Structure 1
């Protein structure tokens, strides 16, 4: 029997919420533009995702890529508990034959590792990550199922390798491809307010076991509504509204028309760094978006809603970048203090950013694309 030549088709897969798209799409663009020997497919589970991808590609000047809407249609329509995407595992199972036809499947999330357990062994499996935070949850056994795992910086790389989850030769430290495109998407992000009050972005996590939202969120919003010192952007991790849409919308409804509170539960500006670039202070808990915010160091305040003994815990390293509050009472006074005391945290912020992102003159997306090409046996980019 003749030996089958490896496929030159590469699938960039999007089976989760839209916030993950910008973490691997720049890599797809770089691969398609710089390595024409590969046929790059962008496979998504909803037309809305493909529409967003098309909008982003237009702003980036286009790329020779092929959009793919995964089926079946009836499964695309399934939404559990009001989620914005169909069930991930079911979509993977339904498309195993398609995935088997690719030379590589590139994904920003770990659920896709399921295709290995279901017998799809041919394509190389690549995990790009979708953030550069401190929590230990992403460092788990499914990483061993990937042929290539990308790291944004030495913090991620060292933790994955030292844990034994990723072999050194299977880890590519590439920087943060999302940073390559945010200026193209929003050249000068505007604050969504008519006045020049300082702007705070409140970005709680979605997981109720970790988030400040269930216990503190209402009191946070009430204090901003009652005081005219600050404007507030409420832009939680988009899975907060995705996993509990009715409860979240009901909770924020009283503040929807407030002139000093802007609410975004998952629009494009909530995922393309518009708010983390334009805000003057970050208020949050454990979201990795703190590191996107610290691309330009500014004051940060963290809410410890669960009484965590966080000091010395590497999963809470980011809580050394600003004051940590065990209660939301007198919050705005504490924000005033955070501006005054920012200098005491600046060095920690800068060191934390440097450990999280390996930023080099060469774009991160180009470095990531080359790592994929090398994995597939291509030794040089097109001239």
Structure 2
């Protein structure tokens, strides 16, 4: 019997990137599956997903801290975010497993602590282009399961991993959503207009939000020809809850602007499947949007020299604007020539997300069990 632990400390917004693999492993007769989460709410969300996927037995463990520390953390409003203390406190328990699977890289702390640590497997959450996605902590993983050739090539180029420690499996999030069913829609608009989706990144030093976000909303809303969904990465308002709440209240009565600071619909591709055009900066959801090729506009709010920078490869999939005055003309041009970047988008999706038709959950599970059989 193989005891396989999933460290899901990154939060519910990452679950879709690994839950189908967890469910598949739990159905294998030779596997005993356990998942570690940081809160009771996360435990409920994960259990609901596993039930819908028809998973086998999975023990879900909430990584509670000693009561004084947990109480202090809750009072300060960052209980779920205390990932490092939780990993340290639960390290012995987690490392009793035969393998540990994580969707983020903070969990590599388990390798760096004194004592034995079993093999660690990483399924990256997302398929963006930022160099941060290929950072030194990868060397602590015994196996990294990437979506497509882009991540495999860039990881090997870093020299952090040898080829036998990197395997392509396809896009695990898409596999989960297909199994769960994700043909949901946003029905919040009173009129049928082309829908523009704006997804600013959460890292404000790279995001278009602070420099141009409000102007983007105002220009599209005032123009009146388009419906607008504003669905930033849920971490954008993680430490600015009031900012997100105020924006929702301001546009609550709008008939053409829908603000979503972080609901399930912003995670499960509801918006990326529904929208007709995407406005963004460096969000990895660009590749999810381009699964079905459509126009994209990229906002260079920081004057980046991006043309030869692989961290901005996605910006070759649409027009790039640097000034708010260019926004509406760019939208008009994109809708006038909707297929201008379609072939390039198809190639980029395959390069980044791999074969979208393969059974990612089965392939990933096989690779993990092969690792344990070595």
TM-score by length of 1: 0.92
- Partners of 1:298 and 1:84 in 2: how far apart? 40
- Partners of 2:343 and 2:114 in 1: how far apart? 48
* 1:381 equivalent in structure 2: none
> Please, which moves more after superposition, 135-144 or 354-363?
354-363
- Partners of 1:304 and 1:128 in 2: how far apart? 29
- Partners of 2:329 and 2:95 in 1: how far apart? 57
Aligned partner of 1:173 among 162, 165, 168? 168
Alpha-carbon distance change, 220 to 252 in structure 1, aligned in 2, over 3 angstroms? farther
**2:136–2:160 Cα contact (<8 Å) kept:** yes
1:343 offset after TM fit, Å?
Answer: 2.3
SS, match of residue 255 in structure 2? coil
* Structure 1 unaligned residues grouped into runs of 5+: 1-6, 379-383
* 1:322 equivalent in structure 2: 318
Aligned partner of 1:17 among 11, 30, 37? 11
1:118 offset after TM fit, Å?
Answer: 1.2
- Partners of 1:373 and 1:150 in 2: how far apart? 13
How many pairs are equivalent? 371
Aligned partner of 2:51 among 32, 35, 58? 58
**2:199–2:283 Cα contact (<8 Å) kept:** yes
**2:70–2:79 Cα contact (<8 Å) kept:** no
- Partners of 2:339 and 2:145 in 1: how far apart? 33
Alignment RMSD (CA, Å): 1.9
* Structure 2 unaligned residues grouped into runs of 5+: none
Dislocated runs of 4+, deviation >4 Å: 79-84
* 2:336 equivalent in structure 1: 340
1:183 offset after TM fit, Å?
Answer: 3.4
Aligned partner of 2:214 among 215, 218, 234? 218
Residues 126-275 of structure 1 correspond to what in structure 2 (within 5 A)?
Answer: 126-192=121-187, 193-275=189-271
SS, match of residue 344 in structure 1? coil
* 1:72 equivalent in structure 2: 65
* 2:294 equivalent in structure 1: 298
The one-character-per-residue Cα deviations of 1:86-112 (angstroms, maximum 9, x if unpaired) are 311111111111112111111110111
SS, match of residue 119 in structure 1? coil
TM-score by length of 2: 0.94
**1:191–1:279 Cα contact (<8 Å) kept:** no
